[in-house]
Amino acid sequence: MAKNDVKVLGAWPSPYVMRPRIALNIKSVNYEFLEEKFDSKSELLLQSNPVHKKVPVLIHDDKPICESMIIVEYIDEVWTSGPSILPSDPYDRAIHRFWAAYVDEKWFAAMKGLRSAQGEERKAFLDRVIEGLALLEEAFGKCSKGKAFFGGDRIGLLDIAFGSFLAWLKVTEKVNGVKLLDEAKTPGLVKWAERFCADAAVKSVMPETEKLLEFSKFLAAKMKGAPPPKN
Amino acid sequence: MAKNDVKVLGAWPSPYVMRPRIALNIKSVNYEFLEEKFDSKSELLLQSNPVHKKVPVLIHDDKPICESMIIVEYIDEVWTSGPSILPSDPYDRAIHRFWAAYVDEKWFAAMKGLRSAQGEERKAFLDRVIEGLALLEEAFGKCSKGKAFFGGDRIGLLDIAFGSFLAWLKVTEKVNGVKLLDEAKTPGLVKWAERFCADAAVKSVMPETEKLLEFSKFLAAKMKGAPPPKN
């Protein structure tokens, strides 16, 4: 068995799948990307993540690790010779973990809610997305301390957690005809998003907005029960 | 400002609040427990956790840390001279974190669902709780490797995450007239639960089942709109 045999089971539109890929890129670890099909699950995925049956899964020397942020912490702990992803100070680590959980459980949950909501409910979700961005703008000021990223001079845990949603944020803006990241209200995040998307560790795994927009239309049609497109 | 001035904002019936308290007990750290009232939130809580406005909050030298499992990891990282709470091996850490997240997001979510569900829905929740315990029995076998706790010879991260729900599990058994932890199906967990509840770090913060049962009745009445009891 090869040492450092690294595979990622994933799917290109998934923000969660981007996370281990960015972390591995930061650590300069070569890995094989095994793309799961949208409408069926591979035997390897079912074996590797029998509880949730979801991507991403990192398979490191035949051992599976599941759940995107747990994988990112694992990568940081195993490949210690590369740049650190978590801050070194325990308080800063707690703050990164807090906002990473907030992004998943509250902020992105609201953005997902927008997909199918109408009327008053839609407005409530949109307000929550916007309020969340205001909180994250404030958190950016505190975490970055005037530097480029939440993690300071380089991409850290919270950059990965939040940044992995940027392509979906752009799609949400297009679909809903709104500007969510905005020079007036979230100037720090606007600049941060540009830097994050241009980073060498991110560029190759960030989906193109137009391609993701097409996928989101397919997803919306599927949720309404329409048959999937032929290719 | 005193070094190692440690406060926990909490409420006695909350399983989440038990977690930092157990972790601090393991590390032999003295702390002040500030009990929040059930029907109002203190100014200190609102200031310390403005995003979620929820207990527990750990306040360490005036700095607030929120979210129970993030607090437990913080405690482990700050008070390094005490026994370790997280396993030392990165893969084992990932496995502990995986099951800790499972317990919160899937298993306890199903147990909470039982509270108000009826008929078919209630049966579905009950099945999920029982299936979850079967998975956790299997995880116990793998994590403990024949030792007393998920963490091996002593209480670790996953023991704290799951064990903090044991009093609520007993209440759920009583309210629903079912046996959930059971010698035939979950023999490992039955013994583990006894050891966990008897541990010196746990005993003083684990609610008595009868007292918690009373509280759960009060909670159920409140959810139905009944006025709270006078004391």
DSSP B218: H
Contact A27, A83 (CB under 8 A): yes
CATH fourth-level superfamily of A6-78: Glutaredoxin (3.40.30.10)
Domains A6-78 and A90-212 share a fold: no
Q: Rounded to a whole number, what is the distance in Å from the CA of A97 to chain B's nearest CA?
A: 7
- The fold adopted by the segment(s) B90-212 is Glutathione S-transferase Yfyf (Class Pi); Chain A, domain 2 (1.20.1050)
pLDDT digits (tens, 9 = 90+) for B150-208: 999 999 999 999 999 999 999 999 999 999 999 999 999 999 999 999 999 999 999 99
CB neighbours (10 Å) of residue B69? 22
Terminal CA-CA length for chain A: 37
Any idea where the domains of chain A sit in the sequence?
A: 6-78, 90-212
Q: DSSP string of A111-152?
A: HHHHTT--HHHHHHHHHHHHHHHHHHHHHHHHHHTTSSBTTB
| Cross-chain residue pair B51–A102, CB shorter than 8 Å | yes
What pLDDT, on a 0 to 100 scale, did the predictor assign at position B229?
46
Candidates A226, A65, A63, A62; CA nearest to A54 is A65
**For residues B34-42, average pLDDT:** 93
Residue with tokens 């500030």: B34
Alpha-carbon distance of B72 to B164, in angstroms, equals: 12
Give which of B74, B66, B20 is closest to B45, Cα–Cα. Answer: B66
User: In chain A, what's the furthest Cα-to-Cα distance?
Assistant: 56
Query: What residues in chain B have their Cβ under 8 A from chain A's Cβ atoms?
Result: 51, 60, 63, 65-67, 70-71, 73-74, 77-78, 90-91, 93-94, 97-98, 101-102, 106, 135
**Which residues does chain A have within 8 Å of residue B97's beta carbon, measured at their own beta carbons?**
67, 70, 73
Nearest CA to A2 out of A55, A59, A43 is that of A59
- pLDDT at residue A231, rounded to an integer: 39
Task: Tell me the C-alpha distance between A64 and A62, whole Å.
Answer: 6
**Can you name the residues that pair with B100 across neighbouring β-strands?**
none
Structure confidence at residue B178 (pLDDT): 93
Q: What is the pLDDT of residue A227?
A: 56
* Amino acid in position A125: F
- Bridge partners of B57, per DSSP, are B9, B66
Residue pLDDT, tens place only, B210-223: 999 999 999 888 87
End-to-end CA distance of chain B: 37
A16 has which bridge partners?
none
The CA distance from B70 to the nearest CA of chain A, in Å, is 6
Model confidence over A122-132: pLDDT tens digits? 999 999 999 99
Residue A223 has a pLDDT of 77
Measured between CA atoms, how close is B226 to chain A, in angstroms?
28
Burial grade of B154 (CB within 10 A; 0-12, 13-18, 19 or more):
middle
Residue from the list A66, A67, A135 with its beta carbon closest to the beta carbon of B51? A135
Mean of per-residue pLDDT scores for chain B:
94
The pLDDT tens digits along chain A (231 residues) read: 456 799 999 999 999 999 999 999 999 999 999 999 988 999 999 999 999 999 999 999 999 999 999 999 999 999 999 999 999 999 999 999 999 999 999 999 999 998 888 999 999 999 999 999 999 999 999 999 999 999 999 999 999 999 999 999 999 999 999 999 999 999 999 999 999 999 999 999 999 999 999 999 998 888 777 555 443
Three-state DSSP class for residue A65: strand
Query: How many angstroms separate the Cα of A161 from the Cα of each of A53, A180, B95, B104, B109?
Result: 21, 18, 20, 20, 23
What is the ipTM metric for this complex? 0.94
Beta pairing partners, A8: A33, A58
| Contact flag A77-B98 (C-beta cutoff 8 Å) | no
CA B207/CA B18 separation, integer angstroms: 9
Chain A to chain B, count of Cβ pairs less than 8 Å apart? 54
Question: Which of B16, B74, B75 is the mutation pick for testing A, counting most A CBs within 10 A?
Answer: B74
